[in-house]
Structure formats: C-alpha cells, structure tokens
Amino acid sequence: MSGFQLMGIFDDEGAVIAAIKAAQEQRLRIVEVYTPYAVHGLDRVLGLKRSRLALVCLIAGAMGAIIKLWFEFWTMAIDWPVDVGGKPWNSLPAFVPVTFEVMVLFAGLFTVGALLIVSRLWPGKQAKLVHPQITNDRFALVIEESDAAFDVARVRRLLESHGAVEVTERLAEEVPA
C-alpha cells in the first residue's frame, strides 16, 4: 500500500454521515472521521463497538467500595476499636454514607484516567490538526486507498456530490497521531 489518502471537508454533519454511508456502499476504506463535537449516530454508522468505560466505572466503583469497607471495618473493629455510645464496632449502617462517597470518587477518577489513557490525551500533548477549521465548524472524512482499483477521481466526485467543500490528497505519513 502506498498510504495515499483523500480527505473531504464538510460543513454539515448530515453531509458527512451521507458521505460515510455512500463510501461504505462502495467498499471504500474509511480511516478516520474528525468532528468539532459529538455527532449523534456516528458510531453506529461507522460500526464502532460500544465503549467499555462503563465497565471500568463499575469495576472501579466496586473496588473503591470494597477497599473502603475493608479499611473501615479493620480500623474500627480490629486495629483501634473505640466504644462510642455502646454501638458495635462493625456497624455497617454507619459505614454506608462514606462508602458511597469513596465509591463515587474511585469510579470518577478511574473512568477519567482510563479515558485519557485510551484516548492518548495526556497532559502537555500538542494537538496536530488535519485542517484548521476541524475544531471550529468543519467535519473531515479521510478515505484511504485500499487496492489498485482505487480511482481518485471517482472518490473525489463521491465526496463532492455529498457536499464536500474541499477535497485534499495526502500520504498516510502526513496524518497526525
């Protein structure tokens, strides 16, 4: 593969979704879609899998609750038992409010951390934009040459017929990470 790509720039989210559907019908290889905001239904059109962040959130929350319950039980009943008004040392109802707060804290922190790691959005990372207006009001669809029968003129016409205001050619090495 030469890594040759065509990038269509669109004004409207409806136009880019229509272009994606048309490209899929012609079995073109869609590399990436850039949008300035979340587009409802784009994940279904592209056939992306469901995010596993909800599972990360559930596991982190459960882990936080278990660790907190163990720590509070160990502190109150084993390490430093203090008789407070004749109440039992291992009173579970007394642990519930703080356990909930720690569960929410763990779930939130781990979910945000997992999102940043998976998205490779660590602090200080410089954004490399494919087009200056992508973060403002433009949408981009990148199609890569998939075989020797790739016809640049046909793909260009396809993108322009679905409302592309600009179509540019580039090599895959020019694509930002």
Residues 107 and 63 in one domain: yes
Does residue 42 form part of some domain? no
- 11-22 mean pLDDT: 93
User: What pLDDT is recorded for position 170?
Assistant: 82
The total domain count for the chain is: 2
Residues 142 and 85 in one domain: no
What does the block give as tokens for 32? 């990436």
User: What pLDDT is recorded for position 173?
Assistant: 64
Is there a contact between 17 and 43 (Cβ–Cβ < 8 Å)?
A: no
Residues 100 and 65 in one domain: yes
Residues 96 and 63 in one domain: yes
pLDDT band with cut points at 50, 70 and 90 for residue 176: low
User: C-alpha 66: how far from its chain's center?
Assistant: 28
Does residue 129 form part of some domain? no
Report H helices in the chain: 13-25, 42-46, 53-73, 92-118, 152-161
The model's pTM is 0.70
Residues 66 and 90 in one domain: yes
Higher pLDDT, 88 or 50: 50
pLDDT tens digits along 28-80: 999 999 999 989 989 999 999 988 999 999 999 999 999 999 999 898 888 88
Question: Mean pLDDT for the chain?
Answer: 87
Residues 110 and 147 in one domain: no
Is there a contact between 102 and 65 (Cβ–Cβ < 8 Å)?
A: yes
Residue with tokens 């319950």: 69
The radius of gyration of the chain from alpha carbons, rounded to an integer in Å, stands at: 26
DSSP letter for 135, please. Answer: T
Residues 65 and 113 in one domain: yes
With a cut of 50, say whether residue 166 has pLDDT above it: yes
Does residue 110 form part of some domain? yes
Does residue 18 form part of some domain? yes
Residues 70 and 100 in one domain: yes
Domain that holds residue 98: 53-118
Does residue 67 form part of some domain? yes
Does residue 101 form part of some domain? yes
Instruction: Look up the CATH number of the domain holding residue 140.
Output: 3.30.70.120
Does residue 128 form part of some domain? no
User: Per DSSP, what are the bridge partners of residue 5?
Assistant: 144, 170
